[in-house]
Amino acid sequence: MIPAEFNYARVSTLDEALTLLAQNEDAKILAGGHSLIPAMKFRLIQPPLLVDIGRIKDLSYIREEGGQIRVGAMTTHYQIEASDLLKEICPLLPECAGSIGDMQVRNKGTIGGSLAHSDPAGDWPAAILALNAELVAVSKNGERTIKAEDFFVDLLTTALEPGEILREIRINKPNGRTGHAYMKMHHPASGFAVVGIAANLSFNGNNKCKAANIGVTGVAAKAYRATGVESALTGVNLDDASIGAAAAHATDGADANGDLFASADYRRHLAEVYTKRAIAAAMKSVPSA
Amino acid sequence: MKQAISINVNGADHAGEVEPRLLLVHYLRDVLGLTGTHIGCETSICGACTILLDGQAVKSCTMFAVQADGSNITTIEGLATNGNLHPMQEGFWECHGLQCGYCTPGMIIAATQIVDRNPNPSRDEIRHGLEGNLCRCTGYQHIVEAVEYAAAKKSGV
């Protein structure tokens, strides 16, 4: 499979990339390439120009700053999976990273590329929604931050405007008694999420749930927050009955996808089951007081 | 428009001009004649085309040759030294880690990364590490044993 012809520009600064994007409306940004290149090989897209941002210094990092975790857009899934800092302060990120695709894909694919692509079966959107992340977009006009819940607009469509590049992902450092988990049904060939549920729960002194954030991927055209589940969990003592009742709302308001591998009904069923599992696993991950 | 690239493959420098759309796997096989790296699914699933790019196992069908400009690549041809098999190659030999052999170069390259990162992997860890490599002879049990053999040999057990 050979892609259509294109021109290629490798840039060494973000500014160069933004200039090329501003001059070439149909140019595409090449990050890890693990969504873009397959789409080009199938000739689903034929961009006239690829702007390779793979060699820009300072787009690949994981650090703590101002009470936040900051992850550069070009950080690979493997770098996140292997980060000792994140395992300690935000274990949902390495857990999600380790479930993406396979080892080779994780070595090359990037968190920023995955989010900007917004694949309906991508793993990151669920985790980013559950963590209430902010995404920093930069363009020739300056910088702005976009809330995760406003970022995913539709199938393969994000709130990024033409000429904007996703630069950084910011997450408030979890504190207090919190628990996280990401549970997914892997597509057996591609490793994509048939359904993936990220749970981020915080608790009072006992098992009473203070706040719940549930991110859902794989079910609909775009990832979403399961607000019905969240409100059913908030202020409630979590046990099998209350978790089960909450999980029944996992696909409220969602238009579930059906395909050859999983019908819409089956996806709704999986979403409920994996929501229960993710909540239970998140509870287990809470450090004992 | 062609682009000039310079890539070190298995210790040897190569320079030339390539079309941007030339995939790395085609550069290795068709331009350099290193046909040990196989093309399987062409869709980043089967792992037959796995190579090491600056020490990281990647699928060379999902990368353009121009992206590898200035990089160091190791293919299956570059693992043996002075005619001696790499411990992973020896493991596949000793444990019958292949039947038809088509997936083998990618399996061996991916497996070297697993053992480099985790010198004493469990069977589950080996299987998790090889999720991106498919063997249609389904000889996975022997492949896992081959990786265990190589890990033990490398750590001198």
Q: Inspect the interface and report whether the beta carbons of B132 and A37 lie closer than 8 Å.
A: no
- Averaged over A132-140, what is the pLDDT? 97
Q: Residue A193: which residues within 8 A CB-CB, separation 6 or more?
A: A121, A122, A123, A126, A184, A185, A186, A187, A217, A218
Residues of A in contact with B1 (CB under 8 A): 7
Alpha helices (runs of H) in B66-103, residue ranges in sequence order: 87-94
- Give the full edge-to-edge strand order of the sheet including A49-52: A7-10, A49-52, A28-30
Q: Cβ contacts (< 8 Å) between B113 and chain A: which residues?
A: 103, 107
CB-based contact B131 A191, cutoff 8 Å: yes
CATH for B3-78, options being 3.20.20.150, 3.10.20.30, 3.30.360.10, 3.40.50.1000 = 3.10.20.30
Residues of B in contact with A107 (CB under 8 A): 56-58, 113
Instruction: Confirm or reject contact between B63 and chain A (CB < 8 A).
Output: yes
Contact B58 A108 (CB under 8 A): yes
The domain made up of A62-172 has a fold known as 3.30.465
Is residue B81 within 8 angstroms of chain A, CB to CB? no
Contact between chains at A103 and B113 (C-beta distance less than 8 A): yes
Domain limits of chain B?
3-78, 87-154
> Cβ separation of A37 and B21 shorter than 8 Å?
no
Question: Quick one: pLDDT band at residue A289, thresholds 50, 70, 90?
Answer: low
Contact at CB, B131 and A103, closer than 8 angstroms: yes
Give the CA distances from residue B94 to residues A101, A256, B90, B99, B150, in Å, rounded to whole numbers and listed in that order.
30, 50, 6, 13, 10
For the residues B39-43, what does the mean pLDDT come to?
A: 95
pLDDT of residue A238: 94
Supply the pLDDT for residue A193.
96
**Per-residue model confidence (pLDDT) at position A218:** 98
Distance CA B121, CA B15 (A): 38
CATH architecture of B87-154: Orthogonal Bundle (1.10)
Among candidates A2, A108, A189 on the partner chain, residue whose Cβ is nearest the Cβ of B21 = A2
CATH T-level assignment (fold) for domain A177-284: Enolase-like; domain 1 (3.30.390)
Query: Are residues A5 and B129, on separate chains, in Cβ contact within 8 Å?
Result: no
Give the pLDDT of residue B3. Answer: 96
- Give ipTM to 2 decimals: 0.97
Question: What stretch(es) of chain A map to CATH 3.30.390.50?
Answer: 177-284
Contact list, A10 vs chain B (CB under 8 Å): 66, 69
3-class DSSP assignment, residue B65: helix
CA nearest B40 in A: which residue? A1
Q: Whose CA is closest to A128, among A112, A141, A109, A144?
A: A112
* Statement: A7-52 belongs to CATH 3.30.1050.10: no
Residue type, B2: K
Q: What is the pLDDT of residue A106?
A: 98
Q: What is the pLDDT of residue A151?
A: 98
Contact A18, A54 (CB under 8 A): no
**What b/e string do you get for A192-207 counting C-beta neighbours within 10 Å, with b at 16 or more?**
bbbbbbbbbbbbeeee
